[in-house]
Amino acid sequence: MKDFIETRIIEAIRKLLTGRVNEILRDEEFPTSVIEFGDYGCGYAVAPVVSLASCERTEKERIIRLDAYSLTITFSLPESFEAENQCYAYAGAVCMALKENPTLGGVADRARITGEKYAPPKKPNCDEGWGVTITLRVTVEDMGK
């Protein structure tokens, strides 16, 4: 069965998060929960949501046959004293790991961060947590559609 490029992109991002991003986070001064995928509600791991959508291509991308995707990584953290700093740590670690590996291990031609959005709790001390959404633009050579 042929792997779809969308599946390969999501798997490459998950591998980046659970691999290099976790390594960067372990080297930080303050403790930050590791990234794992699954249903973890015990506080020692965070499971970000990774979603992918195709996005509009530039004229140049159409001419040279590049597909463009918009990918978002969303971290939701329970409200705590260090949650805000953890949001900054996750965003910084993802940015650093992506600069080291902009091709996602050869899956994409280029992946780059296009935005970071930090979301504090709407009402403090009401069991609403912090969040950070990191948006990436991923371009991949069109392989004969």
Q: Could you tell me whether strands 110-119 and 49-54 are parallel, antiparallel, or unpaired per DSSP bridges? A: unpaired
d(C-alpha 119, C-alpha 121), whole Å: 7
Instruction: Report helix, strand or coil for 54.
Output: strand
Query: Cβ(55)–Cβ(128) under 8 Å?
Result: no
Q: Summarize pLDDT for 110-144 with one digit per residue, the tens.
A: 999 999 999 988 877 676 789 999 999 999 987 65
Number of domains composing the chain: 1
Residues in the chain, overall count: 145
Q: Average pLDDT in the 50-63 region?
A: 82
Closest-CA residue to 54 (of 102, 17, 5, 97): 5
What stretches of 29-105 show up as alpha helix (H) in DSSP? 59-63, 83-100
The mean of the pLDDT values for the chain is: 87
What residue numbers bound the domain in which 55 lies?
Answer: 5-141
Q: Looking at residue 79, what is its pLDDT?
A: 84
Bridge-based pairing state of the strands 45-46 and 49-54: unpaired
In the predicted model, is pLDDT for residue 2 greater than 70?
Answer: no
Assigned token pair, 84: 């805000």
* CATH at residue 56: 3.30.2000
* Tens digit of each residue's pLDDT (9 = 90 or more) over 19-51: 999 999 999 888 888 899 876 555 578 889 999
Are the C-beta atoms of 67 and 57 separated by less than 8 Å?
A: yes
Comparison of pLDDT for 15 and 129, the residue scoring more: 15
Rounded percentage of the chain residues whose pLDDT exceeds 90: 55
For residue 92, pLDDT beyond 90: yes
Using alpha carbons, select from 76, 59, 85 the residue that is nearest to residue 132. 76
Confidence at residue 1, expressed as pLDDT on a 0 to 100 scale: 40
